[in-house]
Amino acid sequence: MMKDPHLNFEEKARQIRIDVLNAVHGAGKGHIGGAFSIVDILVSLFYGGSLQFRPSEPTWEGRDRFLLSKGHAGVALYAVLADLGFFPKEELRRLNRGGLLGEHPDPRIPGVEFLSGSLGHGLPVANGMALADKMDGRDRRKTIVLMGDGECYEGSVWEAAMFGAHHQLHSLCAVIDRNRLITHGSTETINRLEPFMEKWLAFGWDVFEVNAHDYANLKAAWSHHWSKTKGTPTLLICNSVKGKGVSFMENEAHWHHGGIRSELYTQAYLQLKE
C-alpha cells in the first residue's frame, strides 16, 4: 500500500470513529469502547505505508499479515477495511444484521486474515505464520497481531510468548491495547497485570511502550519493527484510552459493550464531528 504523504492521520481517525459510532448505533449495540481505543493504532498501521496489502486482492501472496486477536473490536477494523476499499462501505450499515459483517471478524470478510472472538488465540497463530515465513526465508514480510490487555489473562498468550521469543521470530510484532479496563473494571484492581512490561521483557521480547493516540510515537514503533531483520519479536504496549474520542465514554468500563441511546449518540456524533 502506497503511503499518502498528504494524509492527515487525526482526520482519518476521526472519520473512522464516526463510521464505528454509526455502525454500532445502527446495530443497536456493540463493543464500542475497545474499538475506539484501537482506532489510532489501526490508522497509523494501515495508512502509514509500511504494511503491505492490496484491497483489490486481499489474499495477495506478498501481503503482510494482520490479525485482530481482540476480535470484539472488529467494527474498528471493518471501518478501516471499508475505507480502504476491501468491501463496500454500505456493509457497515448492515453490521450484525445478516450482512457480511458480524461482531467478530471471520475469514469470509475480505481483509480479515483469521477468525477471532475467543481471546488468546491470535498470538499462537501469529507465531505459526511468522515461523512459516522464517522456514521459507520470507521473513522480510511482517506478521502483526493486535491483542487486548485483558486478553493477557489467558494462559495461551504466555505459552505463545515463550515460543515466539525462543524461536526468534523477528518478523512478528504483538501489539497490546493497554487501556487498563476489562468488562467490569480496572485490570489492576480485578487481577493485577503489572508489572506488565517487565513480564514481557522477562519472556525475552523486544518491548516498547508507546502512546496509542500519538502518531509520531506509533510511527517510530512501526519503523523500528520494519527495520528489523533478526532477533526477538517486537512487543508494543500501546497505552490507550478506552472509548477514546467521546468524552463520556473515555475510561469508562461500562462502554465495553452495549447500546447507545439516541441522545447520547447525538452527543457522541457532535463531539467527533467537531
Partner 1 sequence: MIMDMRDAFFEELLFAARRDSRVVFLTADHGATALQKFESELPERYINVGISEQNMIGVAAGLASSGKIVFAYGIAPFVSLRVLEQLTLDVAAMDLPVNIVSVGAGFTYSTDGPSHHGLIDVAALLAIPNLSILNSSDPCNTKFFIDLSIRARKPHYIRIDKEKLEDLNRCVPFEKTASLGYSLLTSGGCKDFLVVSTGYITHRVYQILDAIASSGRDNFSHIDMHQINPITKSTIDFLSQFGTIITVEEGSARGLGCNIFHYLSSIHPRVPKIICLGTQHGYVFRATSRAELLEENLDLENRLRDSLDWKVK
Residues lying near partner 1 in the complex (CB under 8 A) are found at 107, 113-115, 117-118, 120-121, 123-133, 135-136, 155-156, 159-160, 162-163
**Cα dihedral sign for 95, 98, 101, 105?**
positive
Smallest gap from residue 1 Cβ to partner 1 (A): 21
138 Cβ contact list (under 8 Å, min separation 6)? none
**In terms of CB distance, is 121 or 244 closer to partner 1?**
121
38 in Cβ contact with 212 (< 8 Å)? yes
219: exposed, middle or buried (C-beta count within 10 Å: 0-12, 13-18, 19+)? middle
**In terms of CB distance, is 118 or 168 closer to partner 1?**
118
Smallest gap from residue 21 Cβ to partner 1 (A): 29
Smallest gap from residue 101 Cβ to partner 1 (A): 17
Q: Which three cell numbers stand for residue 243?
A: 472509548
**In terms of CB distance, is 16 or 160 closer to partner 1?**
160
**In terms of CB distance, is 136 or 263 closer to partner 1?**
136
Smallest gap from residue 125 Cβ to partner 1 (A): 4
Residue 135 Cα distances to 52, 128, 130, 246, angstroms: 20, 10, 9, 45
Smallest gap from residue 172 Cβ to partner 1 (A): 10
**In terms of CB distance, is 71 or 243 closer to partner 1?**
71
For residue 65, the surrounding DSSP H or E stretch is strand 65-68
Smallest gap from residue 52 Cβ to partner 1 (A): 15
Identity of the amino acid at 236:
L
Beta carbons within 10 angstroms of residue 249's beta carbon: 23
- Rounded to whole angstroms, the Cα distance separating 251 from 144 reads 26
**In terms of CB distance, is 103 or 113 closer to partner 1?**
113
**In terms of CB distance, is 122 or 245 closer to partner 1?**
122
User: Beta 181-182 vs 185-186: how paired, if at all?
Assistant: antiparallel
19 in Cβ contact with 164 (< 8 Å)? no
Smallest gap from residue 130 Cβ to partner 1 (A): 8
85 in Cβ contact with 56 (< 8 Å)? yes
Q: Which residue's C-alpha cell is 447500546?
A: 259
